[in-house]
Amino acid sequence: MADTTVIREPGCDEFRRPMTILRVLSIGGRSTAIKLASGGVWVLASTPLTPATKAKLDELGPVQYIVAPNIFHHLFLGEFKKAYPAAKLLAPEGTIARADKALVFDGVWGRESEPDPKFGFEDEITACYFSGSKNKDVAFFHPASKTIIEADLIFNLPCTEQYSKTTSSGRIPLPGLGRVTPSSWLHSKISASMGVDKAAMARDAATVAEWDAARLVPCHGDVIETGAKEAWRAAYKAYLPPA
């Protein structure tokens, strides 16, 4: 199945694919690329580097940053790094132990020796490292398109976009799991359970809540085109004071 490229905002492109785990959990997958003012490309690499994906990335410009958004989204880093050896490879702490041992990481979120690392894209993309989350997620914000980009902090299921080229509806055929949106009771329970350091989660959830975001691009599920701030607050109400 070839992946699909959707251009939704100038400079912010995405690559979406079907993905099913445990044979029944249809959660979809998405990589997202941002063209920087320098002409280079920042890419959250969470899906295979298919010929179609590579062609679109090459059209956008030279890939300068390959990003893993949490400790579980590392499966395709080797493909991207092999294709773009000059790009900086970035990931949160804990990824190195899980990823291909041949990979050399140029930057890591979460090292005690470097509490607020800078990698060169911060004038255009803001990062918020969730040190208190089980998955060590990093949320990103692209102010030019008012877009939040993240991996497992927000789900928006069913993933109809990512299954649009298949015969599947993209729905999880299990009671209570067919619809997992930021405003659902299940999502708020999941979000609450992901915090191993509640104070750190509250701090970082509040940081993202303050971003001037309009849309949210998740790795799993449909893009939230409007109301990103409201969606975020709904999903993380366990950590945030009432608006």
Show the domain range for 151.
4-235
pLDDT at residue 167 is higher than 60: no
Distance CA 57, CA 69 (A): 18
| For the ranges 22-36, 164-178, 201-215, the one whose mean pLDDT is highest | 201-215
- In the structure encoding, which two tokens stand for residue 68, read together? 């893993």
Residue 205 one-letter amino acid = A
Q: What is the DSSP letter of 240?
A: S
Q: At 210, phi and psi to the nearest 5?
A: -85, -10
Answer yes or no: are the C-beta atoms of 52 and 44 closer than 8 Å.
Answer: no
Report in angstroms the alpha-carbon separations of 40 from 63, 66, 142: 6, 11, 15
pLDDT at position 82: 97
Q: Is residue 242 part of a domain?
A: no
Residue 70, Cα to own-chain centre: how many angstroms? 8
Domains contained in the chain, number = 1
- In the structure encoding, which two tokens stand for residue 51, read together? 């010929």
Average pLDDT of the residues of the chain: 83
Query: Where do runs of H (alpha helix) occur along 37-134?
Result: 51-60, 77-83, 95-98
Q: Is residue 220 part of a domain?
A: yes
Confidence of residue 7 (pLDDT cuts 50, 70, 90): very low
Cα–Cα nearest to 170, from 18, 4, 3: 18
Answer yes or no: are the C-beta atoms of 170 and 19 closer than 8 Å.
Answer: no
* pLDDT, tens only, 172-203: 554 555 567 888 888 888 899 999 999 999 99
Distance CA 48, CA 99 (A): 15
Confidence of residue 30 (pLDDT cuts 50, 70, 90): confident
Q: Is residue 240 part of a domain?
A: no
Q: Is residue 191 part of a domain?
A: yes
Beta strands 12-17 and 4-9 are antiparallel
- In the structure encoding, which two tokens stand for residue 134, read together? 């089980």
CATH assignment at residue 208: 3.60.15.10
Report in angstroms the alpha-carbon separations of 20 from 4, 143, 159: 17, 32, 11
pLDDT at position 14: 53
- In the structure encoding, which two tokens stand for residue 124, read together? 């255009």
| First-last CA distance in the chain | 43
Q: Is residue 241 part of a domain?
A: no
Q: Is residue 12 part of a domain?
A: yes
Q: Is residue 185 part of a domain?
A: yes
Q: Is residue 14 part of a domain?
A: yes
Residue 94 or residue 7, greater confidence = 94
